Amino acid sequence: MIKNLTDVRGIKCWGAHIGIKKAKRDLAIIFSEKQGDVAAVFTQNVFLSECIKITKKHVSDGKAQAFVINSGNANTCTGEQGRKGAEMMAKTLAQELNIKKEDVIVASTGVVGREFPTDIVVEGIKKNVPKLTKQKIGGSLAASAIMTTDTFVKEGYVTFEINGKKINMAGIAKGSGMIHPNMATMLAFICCDISIEQPLLQKTLKEAVDKSFNMISVDGDTSTNDMVVILCNGMAENERIKTENDKGYKIFKDKLEKLCMHLAKLIVSDGEGATKLIEYQVVDAPDDESARKIARTISNSLLVKTAIYGRDPNWGRIIVAAGNAGIDFDPENIDLFIGTKKMVQMLNKSKPVNENLPKLRKMMRAGEIKVLLNLNCGNGKAVAWSCDITEEYVRFNAAYTT
C-alpha cells in the first residue's frame, strides 16, 4: 500500500461514515501524539465558514495537535447555530483525546446554508476516536472521508534526510469544483515529523501554496471553507531548523513545494466533468509575478478551456487571454508552443507557424496538454494548471443540491 499520513511519526488517522451524507464517509480525524508547530493559509472569500473562524483563532499561537474534518455540510451562513457546532467539534475532540481545545483544527466542506448537524458530528467524534490507528488504512480512510464531489482520493508522501535524520511528510487534499487561484474550494492537510521554527514554517507554506494550490483553476470560483494546514511535530528529532540558512531548510522547502504541487495537480485533474489536464508555462516574462498573472489569466479563460475540450487548435485564444492579464510586454516578440510531451511551435516571434496545425490537431486528442508561452523580455517564469470545461460540468452543477 502506498505510504500516507500514518507513515509520519506519531500520526494516527481514521475516516468514517457518521450520517451527514447518505452512504459515503463524512468524518476524518488526524491526531499527532505530540503537539507540534502549525502553519495555515486560508480562503480570501469574504464569506467565511464557521470552521475557518474557529481555526484561525486556534492557529494564532502557532501550535496544534489534531484535525477534525466533516464533509457534506460546509457550516457556512449558519449563524449562531453553526458557530456552536464548530466549537463543539473542537471541544469534543479535545476532550476525547485529552488535549487542549485550542490545539484542534476544525474544517468542514459541503453544501452552504444547511443547518449544521452538531449532534451527529459530536457523536461521530466520540465513536471514532477509539478507532484512530497507525495502520495505513487509517490514512486512506481519512483521505476518502473529506471528499465531496471528488471522484478519487488525493494523497501524497515524500521522505528525505537532514543531517542523517529521516524526515517523513505526507498530505491529503480534496477538491473538484469551485477551484480558482486564491485558495479555491479545496482542503489540504499535511503532517511532517520535522522540527522547524513556526514563523519560518508559515513563510515556507505560504510560498509553497503560491506555487501550487494558488496556481490551479477549474471554473473561476473561490469558496468559503478553503484551507491548507501543515503540522510539524518534531518527532524526527532533527536539529531544529531556525533560519533559511540552516542546513536542510532548502531540502524541506523543495519537498514541501513538490508535495503541494502533487496534491494541487490531483485536484485539477479531478475537475468536475473534466477530460483533460492542462499545464501552462510562462517563461522569460518581465518578472515572476508578471509570469504568474499571465499564467493564471490563461488557465482561467473559459474560451481556452472550451477550445481544448473541443480539441480545437485555436491557439489565438491563448494569446488573447495573455494580453488581458494587465502585464506590459512586446506582443510582436513572443513564441508559443503547444502539445503533449513533445510540443510544436505555433508562434515564432509572433509570426504564425501554420504548417504545424495538422500536428497540433492530432496532439489535442491527448488527455494531458502543455502550453509554453515565451515572452522574450525578462527572466520571470511561472507554471499553472487547469482542466477543460465540458457539458458534464454544467449538468452536474445545475443540479448540485437536487
| Residue bearing cell 505526507 | 170
Instruction: Tell me which residue of 180, 352, 159, 167 sits closest to 264, measured CA to CA.
Output: 180
Per-residue CA distances from 45 to 28, 85, 207, 212, 381 (Å): 24, 21, 19, 19, 27
Q: What DSSP state is assigned to residue 241? A: B
185 is catalytic: yes
Q: Where do runs of H (alpha helix) occur along 98-214?
A: 118-128, 136-145, 198-211
Query: What's the gap between Cα 314 and its chain centre?
Result: 30
Whether residue 167 contacts residue 160, with contact meaning beta carbons closer than 8 Å, is answered with yes
Neighbours of 97 (CB within 10 A): 21
Whether residue 305 contacts residue 268, with contact meaning beta carbons closer than 8 Å, is answered with no
Catalytic annotation, pick one of 55, 185, 222, 297: 185
Amino acid, res. 225? N
Q: How far apart are CA 400 and CA 402, in angstroms?
A: 6
Q: How far apart are CA 216 and CA 269, in angstroms?
A: 10
Relative to beta strand 216-217, strand 277-285 is unpaired
Whether residue 118 contacts residue 108, with contact meaning beta carbons closer than 8 Å, is answered with no
Q: How far apart are CA 58 and CA 45, in angstroms?
A: 19
- Torsion (CA) 81, 230, 18, 148 in degrees, nearest 10: 90
Q: What DSSP state is assigned to residue 238? A: P
Would you please indicate which residues are annotated as catalytic (active-site) residues?
Answer: 185
